[in-house]
Amino acid sequence: MIEGSIGTKLASPPEAEGIAEGIRRPTIEDVARYAGVSRGTVSRVLNGGQHVHPATMEKVLHAVDELGYSVNQAARNLAAGRTGSVAFVISERHTHLFGDPNFGLFVRVFSRELRRDGRHLLVTTAADYKEEHFLADYLVAGHVDGAIFGLPRAGEKLFERLLRVGLPVVTLGRPLGYEEQLSWVAVDDKAGASKAVERLLSRGRRQIATITGPLNTSSGRERLEGYLAALGIDRASAHMAEGDWTLESGHRAARKLLKDYPDLDGLFVASDLMAMGAVTALREAGRGVPDDIAVVGFDDSVAARMVDPPLTTIHQPFERLALEAVRILYELMANRASGPYHVILPTRLVQRRSA
Amino acid sequence: MIEGSIGTKLASPPEAEGIAEGIRRPTIEDVARYAGVSRGTVSRVLNGGQHVHPATMEKVLHAVDELGYSVNQAARNLAAGRTGSVAFVISERHTHLFGDPNFGLFVRVFSRELRRDGRHLLVTTAADYKEEHFLADYLVAGHVDGAIFGLPRAGEKLFERLLRVGLPVVTLGRPLGYEEQLSWVAVDDKAGASKAVERLLSRGRRQIATITGPLNTSSGRERLEGYLAALGIDRASAHMAEGDWTLESGHRAARKLLKDYPDLDGLFVASDLMAMGAVTALREAGRGVPDDIAVVGFDDSVAARMVDPPLTTIHQPFERLALEAVRILYELMANRASGPYHVILPTRLVQRRSA
DNA sequence: GTGAAAGCGCTAACAG
DNA sequence: CTGTTAGCGCTTTCAC
């Protein structure tokens, strides 16, 4: 497919490049010669400048600048046995993450933080079982120095393999079944849910129901717990309906609740998206929000702000979550034997019009 | 920071790995020995198996399988002078892309397509001028084999430099000022806008205004052209207000239009997000949508479906756009001298309730 | 068709 | 503090 020598073609345009270096990219060798030192010294400077005389350092840096040198990652990786990149793994089932600007925040924060020391972010997705397998191959093959998993799912085999080779891994959200073994960062779902319910109580609501997330997920469960705790009741006496995080499921669940508990006046929904579906259902049933039924969501997604009425919701500190994830990953990459680390961050009530 | 030898620590877990290969990852050398051939031959097999005897090939493949061998990208890149990765560049100003599930679609399609031949997608962002510079350094330094730009902006210096080194580049959307020199894929904005206006006309609307995108962008301009063409008028007699793609600007523009043209009964808005802002403004002014004023958006974003009333809008074929972009990039990577290629895809009207 | 050998550019001991 | 020297694992001529 590829014709000729790529190396030469690359520089084929005739324009003089300003740098009197001829065709090829300058190497560490060129820098060394230009600065009048050895390759080893240049390498040292490039890697932090430990044990290098300030004056020498100066010379080398100057040469780097002058020659427009930039390190060849492939060579560095090969020599150092590190890859210089970190994977951000998104499973396809959580495609909705993409629809969430917060996902963009994650990518941005990760990129920025990794860039500080020249690492790259590799965003990868695993659509199905086969791809997940492929991904695992890839990860355990040592192509990355570490991985961050966005919303861990029940990919047991995957985690199993990663644990075996000791690859540094951090998950965003608790990895059910691997909470003890893997490092993760998460928000305090239970406390957040309680805040939501307390808001409803403080608005004088007494018939408070909840639409939960899937009860086989950590967040789904914890948020239900928070609801129960705030009301001081147990699951048996809860007014609840289970959703699956989607808009439609919120709509469906709200209709069910309306039927089961006609005197409903407050509703805590475990995600903004479901809350939006619920609000639509309530309206269709002729109930005004917040007047007849006050609603509180969870996530503080951008949509929550745009919808009518704007949703009162629980804010998740996504940026801090991302930062903590990176921090932990660095910790693990520096010392694979350390950890696992667990971080739980607090949430915040955002008051808008729906409650 | 890093203690001890990473290479050895990596495999520290005591569990036998099933493969009788000891600690380290198998190399091409191991495969060669196992298969009883030379390194060169293994390499040939790995790279397509040209000029290799079927039987030999068989042996090698078997050895690869048996040993669980997977190529070391760094080494390959170093030796071959290719990097095996492609950058997907998002500029921060277009952060809203992240809020758009379509962005996720792009990432997914790119990853999937690149994975076919073992390439990786590097998602990168450039927040400010400094980072853009850093990014340019990075790209021209030969760290990637090619780049796809999501929504090109007026980053002249960047494109200038990329053109100079001849790096394969494709932009999603026309790169204003570089339309002749760079390869790009885009939708037929003008025709799409015309469809939107025609829909309004077919609903009996006669006082049709438009909220445009920024008129210094290609899409902004083209969509206005489509509006004018469908109405058979010129810019001077258009009922228009300029927005900047944001929700707020849509709101503002709608208020202005309402004031300037009180007998408005149809509105074409150049993006769904702005359309959502506009709908809110119309309602606040006591005008019902679609009864008093019919509204058509553009993009077919997910939000368009969730909003009330669901937005009639112009669908963009994002998946095909992504596929075309990749196809072109491969073309360019195979032959840097080819191109530039330009692809324009059609749009489709999606009828929902707002018009 | 296949083997041998020369690097790709860099890091990381090891002396000094 | 600095120079020297092995490789890292792979591709790619060049002979045979």
Q: How far is the CA of A4 from the C1' of C2 (A)?
A: 23
Q: Are the Cβ atoms of B124 and A111 closer than 8 angstroms? A: yes
Chain segment B256-278, per-residue pLDDT in tens: 999 999 999 999 999 998 998 99
Structure tokens at A108: 């941005």
**What pLDDT, on a 0 to 100 scale, did the predictor assign at position B3?**
26
- In this complex, which of A25, A308, A336 lies closest to B308 when CB atoms are compared? A308
| Closest CA in chain B for residue A302 | B99
The three-class DSSP label of residue A268 is strand
Structure tokens at B170: 């494709």
Q: Are the Cβ atoms of A164 and B15 closer than 8 angstroms? A: yes
Which A residues, 155 through 184, put their C-beta within 8 Å of a C-beta on chain B? 164-166
The three-class DSSP label of residue A320 is helix
B79 Cβ contacts chain D strand, under 7 Å:
yes
**What pLDDT, on a 0 to 100 scale, did the predictor assign at position A107?**
83
**What pLDDT, on a 0 to 100 scale, did the predictor assign at position B326?**
96
Q: How far is A52 from chain B (nearest CA, A)?
A: 18
d(CA A66, CA A60): 10
A37 Cβ contacts chain D strand, under 7 Å:
yes
B71 Cβ contacts chain D strand, under 7 Å:
yes
pTM of the complete model:
0.77
Q: How far is B346 from chain A (nearest CA, A)?
A: 24
Which A residues, 184 through 203, put their C-beta within 8 Å of a C-beta on chain B? none
| Closest CA in chain B for residue A168 | B10
**What pLDDT, on a 0 to 100 scale, did the predictor assign at position A180?**
93
| Closest CA in chain B for residue A4 | B335
> If we measure between CA atoms, which residue out of B228, B205, B78, B348 comes closest to residue A83?
B78
Residue A23 forms contact with B (CB below 8 Å)? no
Q: Which of B120, B134, B246 to mutate to test the interface with A (most CBs of A within 10 A)?
A: B120
Neighbours of A210 (CB within 10 A): 28
For chain A, the first-to-last Cα distance in angstroms comes to 62
Structure tokens at A3: 């014709």
| Closest CA in chain A for residue B101 | A99
For the segment A161-188, the average pLDDT, to the nearest whole number, is 90
List, in order, residues 6 or more apart from B46 with CB less than 8 Å away. B28, B64, B71
Chain segment A217-253, per-residue pLDDT in tens: 788 999 999 999 999 999 999 999 999 888 889 999 9
**What pLDDT, on a 0 to 100 scale, did the predictor assign at position B155?**
58
A67 vs B157, which has greater pLDDT?
A: A67
**What pLDDT, on a 0 to 100 scale, did the predictor assign at position B14?**
32
Mean predicted lDDT score pLDDT of chain A: 84
Chain segment B265-318, per-residue pLDDT in tens: 999 999 998 998 999 899 889 999 999 999 999 999 877 887 778 999 999 998
B12 vs B198, which has greater pLDDT?
A: B198
**What pLDDT, on a 0 to 100 scale, did the predictor assign at position A156?**
62
B16 Cβ contacts chain D strand, under 7 Å:
no
For residues A103 and A67, the answer to whether their CB atoms sit within 8 Å is: no
b vs e for A124-141, b when ≥16 Cβ sit within 10 Å of the residue's Cβ?
A: bbbbeeebbeebbebbbb
Q: How far is B186 from chain A (nearest CA, A)?
A: 22
For residues B184 and B329, the answer to whether their CB atoms sit within 8 Å is: no
Residue B125 forms contact with A (CB below 8 Å)? yes
Residue B92 forms contact with A (CB below 8 Å)? yes
SS (H, E, C) chain B: CCCCCHHHHHCCCCCCCCCCCCCCCCCHHHHHHHHCCCHHHHHHHHCCCCCCCHHHHHHHHHHHHHHCCCCCHHHHHHHHCCCCEEEEEEEHHHHHHCCCHHHHHHHHHHHHHHHCCCCEEEEEEECCHHHHHHHHHHHHCCCCCEEEEECCCCCHHHHHHHHHHCCCEEEECCCCCCCCCCEEEEECHHHHHHHHHHHHHHCCCCCEEEEECCCCCHHHHHHHHHHHHHHCCCHHHCCEEECCCCHHHHHHHHHHHHHHCCCCCEEEECCHHHHHHHHHHHHHCCCCCCCCCEEECCECCHHHHHCCCCCEEEECCHHHHHHHHHHHHHHHHHCCCCCCCEEEECCEEECCCCC
Q: How far is B1 from chain A (nearest CA, A)?
A: 6
B337 Cβ contacts chain C strand, under 7 Å:
no
Confidence of residue B226 (pLDDT cuts 50, 70, 90): very high
**What pLDDT, on a 0 to 100 scale, did the predictor assign at position A127?**
66
**What pLDDT, on a 0 to 100 scale, did the predictor assign at position B94?**
47
Between strands B266-269 and B208-212, the pairing is parallel
**What pLDDT, on a 0 to 100 scale, did the predictor assign at position A26?**
87
Q: How far is the CA of B5 from the C1' of C8 (A)?
A: 24
Percentage, residues of chain A above pLDDT 90: 51
Question: Which residues of A are less than 8 Å from B77 in CB distance?
Answer: 73-74
Give strand letter and number of the nucleotide nearest B28 (CA to C1'): D9
Confidence of residue A100 (pLDDT cuts 50, 70, 90): low
Confidence of residue B152 (pLDDT cuts 50, 70, 90): low
The three-class DSSP label of residue A132 is helix
For the segment A303-320, the average pLDDT, to the nearest whole number, is 88
| Closest CA in chain A for residue B11 | A165
**What pLDDT, on a 0 to 100 scale, did the predictor assign at position B121?**
84
B127-to-A114, A256, A322, B94, B95 alpha-carbon distances in Å: 14, 46, 17, 10, 9
Q: Are the Cβ atoms of B335 and A3 closer than 8 angstroms? A: yes
Q: Are the Cβ atoms of B7 and A123 closer than 8 angstroms? A: no
- In this complex, which of A97, A122, A335 lies closest to B122 when CB atoms are compared? A122
B33 Cβ contacts chain D strand, under 7 Å:
no
> Would the CA dihedral through A296, A297, A300, A305 be positive or negative?
negative
